[in-house]
Each structure stands twice: as C-alpha cells, then as structure tokens.
Amino acid sequence: MPTKNLTGKVALVTGASKGIGQAVAKRLAQDGAAAVVNYWASSDGAEATVADIEKAGGRAIAVKADVSQVREIERLFDATLSRFGKLDILVNNAGFAFHKPIVETTEQDFDGIFAVNVKGTYFACQQAAKHMTDGGRIINLSSSTTGMLLPDFSAYIATKGAVEQITRSLAREFGARRITVNAVSPGPTDTDLFSRGMSDQEKQRIGQMAALGRLGLPQDIADVVALLASDDAHWITGQNIRANGGII
C-alpha cells in the first residue's frame, strides 16, 4: 500500500495522459505529491487522470505542451511553478516510437523521434537545473530495447541510448545539489501503444520471454519510479534500472 512519503513535493510527469506516464502520475499523487500531468494530444486522458487524482484526495493539474519544442517546455515549467511554486520531481516519460528497417527510415522519421525522446528529455532537464529544489529527483524513461539487439528499432534504440548517457552525465552535474538523476528502462509493457495491432497470442508469447512469465503493467513501472522519487533512494544516482521482469 503506498505511503504518503512524498507529501509536500511537486512532481511533473511528461506524457502522463495514458499508459506508463498516467500510472506514474497517479502513483506519485497517491504517495502525497502534487502532480503536473503533461500531455500533447490526449486532453481527455489528461483530464481523466487529474480527476482520478483529485477524487482520491490528491492535487493535480493538466498542462498541454509539446516537449519537442523548447519554448513549450519552458511554458510547461512556468505553469508548474505558477500553480505550485516549486518543483521537486521530474519524470521525463513522454516518448515516441516506431520500428522500421534503416533503409525505410526517413530524415523526417529520424528528426521527429530525436526531437521528442532526446531533445525533450535534455531541455526538460535544463529547466530542472534552473528551477528544481535542491535534493530533488529526475527520472528519465529509457527502454530495455537498448540491450535486446532488436532489428528495425535502430532509431528508437539510438534515442534511448542517448537518454541513458544524458542521465549518467547529469548525475555528476547535479550531484553537488543532491539532485539524483536516474533512468528506468521498461521491457514490453501492456499499454494501448504496445498492444496496437497485436493479438492476445502474440502478447502472451512476448510476455513468456520474461523470467517472470508475463508482460509488464504500467503500475509495475510506476512502482520503480516511485521508489526513485522517494527519500529512500537518496543514495542512488546515475543508474539505469531495467524494470522488465527479467526479459534481459
């Protein structure tokens, strides 16, 4: 059962209108944090997330912002500070994925995925450097695909490899302020995005590849993020936690 160990904290979660991001925002709110639910396209999902948090007695707002644009990231942080006055936890969850052979990947494909996954994470961390309270937490979402050698995922894997290296470097840069910077790398996780176009048999087959014999759930990832966001994780920084049920 979640405890209120984040009471008084303010958490910003990008891409939090559905899937893993939604589960993370709800879990951090359950633990006592005020939650900023960022979204780009799914306003209904974001408002539903806020409503669920408020119904459970928490505090939350939804803020639309395209994290591939620096000005939008700045506006997102301005909205957070205007509403709650500070920022203690940043979860860079917003992401974009596609799988294509390299010969079919266009320049537009490449630039688009790097703009969201790498540029978005990097410049959100830049805003955290300017505005986060000392002793804060930054958690960047990577992917276990960086270790799985999957074909047709080269562009996506490249972005997540960059996120992991940014995480390691910034852990050193933020260390003097006691701000920890870590990455969480989910494996196959049962979200709408993952399941799109996939049969139940295919999902079961992929789930059985994990040591624990099933697909991950968004809540499984949210639990790991919540640990890293807590005071209990004060001595963990610069790490990449593969939350994947033992698939690799």
What's the confidence (pLDDT) of residue 71?
98
pLDDT of residue 30: 98
Indicate the pTM of the whole model: 0.96
* Residue 198 confidence (pLDDT): 74
Please identify every stretch of the chain with a pLDDT value under 50, giving residue numbers as ranges.
none
**Alpha-carbon distances of 79 from 25, 35, 73, rounded to whole Å:** 17, 12, 10
| The CATH classification of domain 10-236, taken from the options 3.40.50.720, 3.30.1600.10, 3.40.50.1860, 3.40.1390.10 | 3.40.50.720
pLDDT of residue 1: 53
Q: Is 156 a catalytic residue?
A: yes
Please write down the long-range contacts of 100-105, taking CB distance under 8 Å and 24 or more positions apart: 100/152, 100/155, 101/151, 101/152, 102/154, 102/155, 105/154, 105/155
Instruction: State residue 4's pLDDT score.
Output: 83
Residue 194 makes CB contacts below 8 A (sequence gap 6+) with 188, 215
pLDDT given at position 194: 78
Location of structure tokens 């320049």: 107
CA trace torsion 242, 32, 38, 215 (10° rounding): 30
pLDDT number for residue 2: 57
Q: What's the pLDDT score for residue 177?
A: 98
- From the list 50, 156, 189, 215, the catalytic residue is 156
Predicted local confidence at residue 158, as pLDDT: 98
| Cβ pair 89, 12 in contact under 8 A | yes
pLDDT digits (tens, 9 = 90+) for 77-110: 999 999 999 999 999 999 999 989 999 999 999 9
Cβ burial, residue 225 (10 Å; 0-12/13-18/19+): buried
pLDDT of residue 149: 83
Domain boundaries defined on the chain: 10-236
